[in-house]
Structure 1
Amino acid sequence: MKKCFLLFLFSFSVLFANEIAQKQKDIKENERIVKQLSKKLEDLAGEILDNEKNLKKIASEISTLTSKTSKLESSVKTQIKALEQLNAQNKDLLQNKNKIEGKIIDLIAKDFAYDLAIPKNYIESEDSIIALELVGVLDKIFKEEFYQISKDYENISKKIEEKQTQITTINNNLKAYKDQIDELKNLRKKQEQEISKQKTDKEIYTRKLSNLQAQQQELRKTLNKLKIIKEKEEEKLAQKKEDKKPSSNVKQVGSSYQTSSVKRYSGPKTIAPLESYTVKQKFGNYVDPIYNIKIYNENVVLKSDSANAAVRNVLDGKVVFAKATPTLKQVVIVENKDGIHTIYAHLDKIAPGVKVGRNIKKGYIIGRVESDLTFEVTQKNFHINPLEMIK
């Protein structure tokens, strides 16, 4: 009963340990996914392309190693048989060596015994002379036999050494083969892991790309509704002509790519909407290197260096839009002088005082973001690179 309980306890502990290891692996992968989701689109694309190169390299290494192991496989079987024969031969040789060692010890003992048989003070007589002659003859026989046995011993020792060298060589070859098999297994495992990571990263990238297109379309619709950006008939016709042109390798997906009217900002420089940030997405053309989709970014994405960062109004103006949207989170649009509109999207919170129709000053806190702020600037139906207007 006690043995059964201990066996159950051991099995349970092994299962529990495996479950913990799997959970730790899942946590690590989830952390990696969160990290990938927060990366710039082009950085993620770069990683995917690098990973594809790495996968090709691994595939090439696997192919080379598979070819090597296939060649070795046939010789390995022969070498294993040879190793068995050599070990058997060595066993026989060692037995013979032990027998010879026994004979040598026996001869030395006999020779020593005959030396002891005649003392130094032995009185010479006819019998003693015959005895001495006999001992001399026996001594000669023993020496000849000893020499022959020693020669046999030397030859056997040499053969054992040669066989042992062959055994060592074969064992080294078999170890090299085993190491290659292990390396091949590790490479295949690595390949599986990289393919899994690549699949996840591509899914993340596709989702980010789709979200970017959906966000651009939603923001454009919002600006059209507010009559901030009007979609002219000439632009529609130009887009249709562009769509009909024979495509190179670059795809232009629906309204995700539009040849926006762009002008340079000529007014005075102003503050940035975030106090501390990095540019995550630049203004202008972006050709996706994975699917070759061309997107025109009409805004910039600024990544805050701190969580729950305050978003500042960059120019004096009047709030014309302030509410949540399906894909852009909270959005605030401010109408400024000279036909300029500043658009703040992906806000996590809108400040309570920000209401449509209210005039707000430059530097007024309009809301907060946990991470990324989408910032767009337009002027009389033209888009402006937002980075041109901020210090």
Structure 2
Amino acid sequence: MTKKIFFIFLFLFLTYEQINANALNEKTKNLEENKRIQQQLNKKLEDLASDILNGEKTLKDLSLQIQILNSQTAKLEESAKVQYKELNMLTSQNSNLLKSKANMEGKLIALLAKDFAYDLPIPEGYVEGKESFLAFEVLSGLDKVLNSEIFKLSKDYEGITKLIDDKQTQIKKINDNLKDYNDQITRLQDLRKKQLDEINKQKMDRAIYSKKLQNLQAQQDELRKTLDQLRIIQRKQQEQQEQKSSKIANNNQKIRQLGSSYQGSAIKRYTGKKTIAPLDSFTVKQKFGNYIDPIYNIKIFNESVVLKSKKSDAMVKNVLDGKVVFAKDTSMLARVVIVEHDDGIHTIYAHLDKIAPNIKVGKNIKKGVIVGRIKSDLTFEVTQKNFHINPLELISLN
């Protein structure tokens, strides 16, 4: 009774451990996937597009490999069926041969024992007579018969041993062939799993990419609306209508624009003196100008740049002396500060995590004054007299 309780307890414990292990593996898998999604969300638009295109190439390669393996496996499958049948037959034959061999070994042992008995030495003091002579003649004849039987049985034993070896060689060869077939099946299953994982990654990456494009359009729309209200950049009614009607194109459409920004934005080169950058250390995450999206065939004109700070909670500095004309929260661009400068220049600082408490509309501020802080990315835009300027032409990148 105690043993029974112990085994029940052991079974329940092992089952519990297995459930925990499966749950842990699932959690680890989910954490890894969430980490990958976060990495994709933080990537540049063009890098994410590159990942999607590479993923499509990987899927094509996987499909081709699966197609080849499917064809090879189909051919091997017919051969495997025949070989499985042959293997069963050979195994059965080998079993019978091994039984015959064991039987022969028993017979050989018995014959050798008899032969040994007939060859026993003559006892001491033995007197040879007529009867003993006849007995020796009989024994000699029996010995010859036994030797003949032993020889024949030995030959049969040798033959059956060779047959067994031959069958074993055939069985090994078939097993090797079947192992190749089973390995092929395993490779095919692995490829199909890899293909499914890649399809799921592609779906997720495309969803992230589409969302990024939509957010980019919405953010540009909101900023244009703000600039229009402040009479910094004024646009025609026709352009505004185009902006509302444009949508993300499908894969099979020709290249088209996203919003009215593409070719609708008036741009000019900045030829003045360079000034300080709004961040101390950064990389350019999104460049100014044309971007042709390779996934949905959309033309985008980036009117701003996105600067990625090399440290978190970074301070954002005003780049030229000027007056604050806008400083508040927005729905798409988080917190935004716009500063008006001489010669019709305006600088826009968007996606601020915080606006500095001393930054108020109407206040004059000097170059280098902190306008706010960011967690990671700063959207920085520059205009001059109804024209957009590449912000990287205005600031020093040293």
Give the root-mean-square deviation of aligned CA atoms: 2.7
Give CA-to-partner distance per residue, 1:257-280, whole Å, 9 cap, x none. Answer: 234222222122221111111111
SS of structure 2 residue aligned to 1:254:
coil
Matches within 5 A, 1:264-275: 264-275=269-280
Query: How far 1:288 sits from its partner (Å)?
Result: 0.6
1:36 to 26, 36, 40: 40
Query: How far 1:123 sits from its partner (Å)?
Result: 4.7
2:52 to 41, 44, 48: 48
Q: Does 1:383 align with 2:388?
A: yes
> In structure 2, what residue type is equivalent to 1:267?
G
Q: Which residue does the alignment assign to 1:314?
A: 319
* Residues 237, 221 of structure 1: alpha-carbon distance in 2 compared, 3 angstrom cutoff: closer
2:287 to 278, 282, 291: 282
> Which whole-Å CA distance do the structure 1 matches of 2:260 and 2:238 have between them?
15
SS of structure 1 residue aligned to 2:119:
helix
SS of structure 1 residue aligned to 2:395:
coil
> Which whole-Å CA distance do the structure 2 matches of 1:233 and 1:6 have between them?
78
SS of structure 1 residue aligned to 2:272:
coil
Q: Which residue does the alignment assign to 1:243?
A: none
Q: Does 1:164 align with 2:168?
A: yes
257-266 vs 304-313, which moves further:
257-266
2:300 to 295, 300, 305: 295
Q: Which residue does the alignment assign to 1:96?
A: 100
> Which whole-Å CA distance do the structure 2 matches of 1:254 and 1:99 have between them?
92
* Residues 217, 233 of structure 1: alpha-carbon distance in 2 compared, 3 angstrom cutoff: closer
Give CA-to-partner distance per residue, 1:223-274, whole Å, 9 cap, x none. Answer: 12211122258988999xxxxxxx9831213324234222222122221111
> Which whole-Å CA distance do the structure 1 matches of 2:257 and 2:234 have between them?
21
2:86 to 62, 78, 82: 82
Query: How far 1:184 sits from its partner (Å)?
Result: 1.9
2:359 to 337, 350, 354: 354
> Which whole-Å CA distance do the structure 2 matches of 1:233 and 1:20 have between them?
58
2:336 to 328, 331, 334: 331
> In structure 2, what residue type is equivalent to 1:381?
N
> Which whole-Å CA distance do the structure 2 matches of 1:85 and 1:23 have between them?
49
Q: Does 1:204 align with 2:208?
A: yes
Q: Which residue does the alignment assign to 2:247?
A: none
**Paired residues, what number?**
386
Q: Percent of counterpart pairs with the same letter?
A: 60
- The two structures have a TM-score, normalised by structure 2, of 0.89
- The two structures have a TM-score, normalised by structure 1, of 0.90
Q: Which residue does the alignment assign to 1:365?
A: 370
Unaligned runs of 5+ in 2: 244-251
> Which whole-Å CA distance do the structure 1 matches of 2:54 and 2:169 have between them?
47
Q: Which residue does the alignment assign to 2:191?
A: 187
137-146 vs 125-134, which moves further:
125-134
204-213 vs 185-194, which moves further:
185-194
Unaligned runs of 5+ in 1: 240-246
> Which whole-Å CA distance do the structure 2 matches of 1:9 and 1:137 have between them?
75
Q: Which residue does the alignment assign to 1:231?
A: 235
